[in-house]
Amino acid sequence: MDYEPYLPVRPRRLRQNPAVRKLVTEYRVTPERLILPLFVREGSGVRQEIPSMPGVFQLSPDQLAEEVREVQDLGIGGVILFGIPEKKDEVGSDAMSPDGIIAQAVRVCKKNAPELLCVTDVCCCEYTSHGHCGCLKEIGGRTDVDNDTTLELLKRQTLVQAEAGVDMVAPSGMMDGMVGAIREGLDEHGFEHLPIMSYAVKYASAFYGPFRDAAESAPQFGDRRSYQMAPDAVAETALREVELDLSEGADIIMVKPALAYLDIVRLVHDSFPEVPLATYNVSGEYSMIKAAAAQGWIDEKSVVLETLLAMTRAGAGIILTYWAKDVAYSIGS
């Protein structure tokens, strides 16, 4: 034990106590940069837990009212609303009706939590009987989503949400030209001030499984690979999608899912450092941690904070997460 190394450089000097560790902290997860997804369905007194997503509920409008007041008080950045209509049809009419569930949800949100940022997911899949993200047509002997007709539907959905008082819209259907169409529709009707957060980089991912239970939006046939991105495509495909959406007027860009795509978050952030970047900590990412924590195999709070920190470090300024309230409570405590 008589060896005495000479070590002029000792990284541990800056790790030795909480004070010095705090001094060199770079990244922080804060509630005001988080957006909480909420599922809204018809009825009253409904607070129905989603079996594959413990702690996440489908709420009726009266329950939503309470929820958004709590979220506003917690200082969370915003909510993103998903509607589950009573009746679904081929084109998702409920989403285009001023009395539909999503329009009701927006009004409840703005009435009860006027300071809270209210965002809506703009897509057809929760509202169509077939569960696809647009209306269908026969193309060369197979059924596929009709891109350009869907744009018209998305435009109409957005206008209904805008009239109801939404603060920001988030198109998620991965239709070509969706941002441009929505921007045009909004601008023509005096909503040029409403920002668009585009799900610009959205992969066809198995991590959305539990969400489709929550939103009752699983495709009734086939899958979403004819419109969502291929996970095995060259990474730079993401940049093309971002460029397109920016040129069509997107204000905030989203990468989704988050955890298995942190390389893409970093790539987009480095390529467009001036553009606000969001990532969606999706349902499958939530369920995996919940399941392991329920077994006592991992510590939920630490793992969640570490996960959200990784997304922040990768370059996401905004995170959509089902844990937004938990983060607010645990940081506050």
Q: Residue 22 Cβ, how far from ligand PBG at the closest point, in Å?
A: 33
Stretch of 66-74, 118-126, 268-276, 288-296 lying at the interface with ligand PBG (CB under 6 A) = 118-126
- Shortest-Cβ-distance residue relative to ligand PBG: 211
Contact pick of 123, 162, 258, 268 for ligand PBG (by CB under 6 A): 123
Give the number of other CB atoms < 10 A from CB of residue 243: 14
CA distance 94 to 100: 5
Stretch of 182-190, 236-244, 277-285, 293-301 lying at the interface with ligand PBG (CB under 6 A) = 277-285
Contact pick of 175, 242, 253, 282 for ligand PBG (by CB under 6 A): 282
Site for ligand PBG contains 125 (CB under 6 A): yes
User: Which one, 280 or 323, has the nearer CB to ligand PBG?
Assistant: 280
CA 205, 210, 214, 217 torsion-angle sign: positive
Burial per residue of 277-299, b for 16 or more beta-carbon CB atoms within 10 angstroms, e otherwise: bbbbbbbbbbbebbeebeeeeee
Q: Residue 10 Cβ, how far from ligand PBG at the closest point, in Å?
A: 44
Q: Enumerate residues 153-192 that contact ligand PBG by CB under 6 A.
A: 172
Closest CA to 256 of 237, 228, 236: 228
Closest CA to 85 of 130, 122, 43, 136: 43
- Whether 256 sits among the annotated catalytic residues: the reply is yes
User: Which one, 282 or 304, has the nearer CB to ligand PBG?
Assistant: 282
Helix axes 324-332, 300-314, angle to 10 degrees: 110
CA distance 130 to 170: 22
Q: Please identify which of the residues 88, 155, 202, 325 carries the catalytic annotation.
A: 202
Give the number of other CB atoms < 10 A from CB of residue 323: 26
Site for ligand PBG contains 121 (CB under 6 A): yes
Q: Please identify which of the residues 88, 256, 290, 325 carries the catalytic annotation.
A: 256
Contacts of 176 (CB under 8 A, 6+ apart): 147, 244
DSSP string, 80-113: EEEEE-SS-BTT-GGGGSTTSHHHHHHHHHHHH-
Stretch of 22-30, 234-242, 275-283, 289-297 lying at the interface with ligand PBG (CB under 6 A) = 275-283
Contact pick of 191, 208, 261, 323 for ligand PBG (by CB under 6 A): 208
Binding residues (CB under 6 A) for ligand PBG: these are 121, 123, 125, 172, 208, 211-212, 224, 280, 282-283
Would you please indicate which residues are annotated as catalytic (active-site) residues? 202, 256
